[in-house]
Amino acid sequence: MSIASQGAVRHHSVIIIGGGQAGLSISWYLKQAGVDHLVLEKHQVGHAWRNERWDTFCLVTPNWQCNLPGYPYRGNDPFGFMKKDEIVEYLDGFVASFQPPVREGVSVNKLWREDGLWRITASDGAYSADQVVVAVGGYHIPVVPRAAERLPADIVQIHSSQYLNPQSLPEGEVLVVGTGQSGCQIAEDLHLAGRRVHLGVGDAPRVARTYRGKDVVEWLDKMKYYDLPVDKHPLGTGVREKTNHYVTGRDGGRDIDLRKFALEGMQLYGKFESLEGEVAHFGGGVKGYLDEADAVSESIKDSIDRFIDANGIEAPTEARYVPVWQPPSDTARALDLRASGISAVVWCIGFRTDFSWINEPIFDGRGYPGHERGVTAAPGLYFLGLPWQYTWGSGRFSGIDRDARYLFDHISALRAGATSSTESTPSALSQAA
């Protein structure tokens, strides 16, 4: 179908695809500058926070890190961790503070460049724009293994994005697969509710909640870790593929210690591998996964110690972590779902990206967009809110402001016909920030 056959084409100087914190942040800068633009949101503003988080979900970073443009956290608990409803309230407050031009319930089906303009076909018709910001994050399609198709029909299975609370699952024991942030926190939620949990452990690292008198996030902030650009990271762009460290902000914040859970009755296995009949099979290596997660946590403490010593900072000493449990050498590698009374499986193995709707040759062989701080090789096409787009905070409340301001400068320069880099000719907004 040609774009002409879809009726009137609505044109804007800038169109933002995605109405989460990323899309709203760049909208804030554009509105401050009086730039004609429109935000297209598939669902409702902040949809993922509202509808794809469980009831006890809370941030794992302190509230003081929430710093959307012109709207820093203003609550009375800066060192606490906002719960799901509070996060939604914070985002709604940001929206109310500047009234962005958002069109909700609009799905974008295709984006391409033609005759010097960006063309969009959407569920409500056709659009065109001089410039486009893709702000849909990097978590699009829930990952569920093909083995899930072979689960008995009477065993409920959901992805972590669908989990609500222990009561939403049928009575019985629960298999949780994956130990990233979601897997560990959902396993904890079920465990604290008295449910018997079987946990398929992976290679996710962990981090301590506090160390030597401060939240570890505060130490890392003082160490400028959150200002480290991706090209200076020891792993380079490879860090984008790494699983986030698990920890929790629940009940004021604490460590998540899978060894402690095991002592309390949670059954730990290795990585989920396959399903044969009603038997789930796991790899070995539980001890290695736990040891490596602990080693990462302790290495972060080592770096904090070095920072404290190098800067002559007075801080209390603290004993290091001592493992409270070791997996037996004969750790089970198979789980008979029926015999164990498993009533539900929660898949917590992440998401994959899907930019197949963008018809522009800017992607690598795995479908990831090529960009430099969100600026692509295609004139006027940008990405915002990708994990580690520029720094650790790029996909989070803490770093999205910096990235949005940077892209605003590029958008402004292109609008003005500038050819010099925005690093040498920063905008007035950048100078004032």
Task: Write out pLDDT tens, residues 180-211.
Answer: 999 999 999 999 999 999 999 999 999 999 99
Tens of pLDDT, residues 86-142: 999 999 999 999 999 999 999 999 999 999 999 999 999 999 999 999 999 988 899
Strand partners, 132: 15, 381
* Contact call for residues 203 and 180 (beta carbons, < 8 A): no
What per-residue confidence (pLDDT) applies to 7?
66
The tens digit of pLDDT for each residue in 70-90 reads 999 999 999 999 999 999 999
Model's pTM, two decimal places? 0.91
Q: Please give the share of the chain, as a percent, with pLDDT higher than 70.
A: 95
Distance CA 292, CA 204 (A): 9
pLDDT at 6: 52
Q: Examine domains 3-140+353-432 and 145-350 and report if their fold is the same.
A: yes
145-350 sits in which CATH class?
A: alpha beta
Looking at the predicted structure, is the pLDDT value of residue 430 above 50? Answer: no
State yes or no: pLDDT of 5 exceeds 80. Answer: no
Residue 342 sits at φ, ψ, to 5 deg, of: -70, 125
Residue 236: pLDDT over 90? no
Helix (H) or strand (E) holding 409: helix 400-415
Domain regions of the chain by residue span: 3-140+353-432, 145-350
Percent of the chain having pLDDT more than 90?
A: 85
CATH code of domain 3-140+353-432: 3.50.50.60
Average pLDDT, the chain: 93
pLDDT category at 4 given cuts 50, 70, 90 is very low
pLDDT value at position 1? 42
Q: Which residue has the higher pLDDT, 431 or 359?
A: 359
Cβ distance 179 to 204 under 8 Å? yes
- State mean pLDDT over 233-254: 90
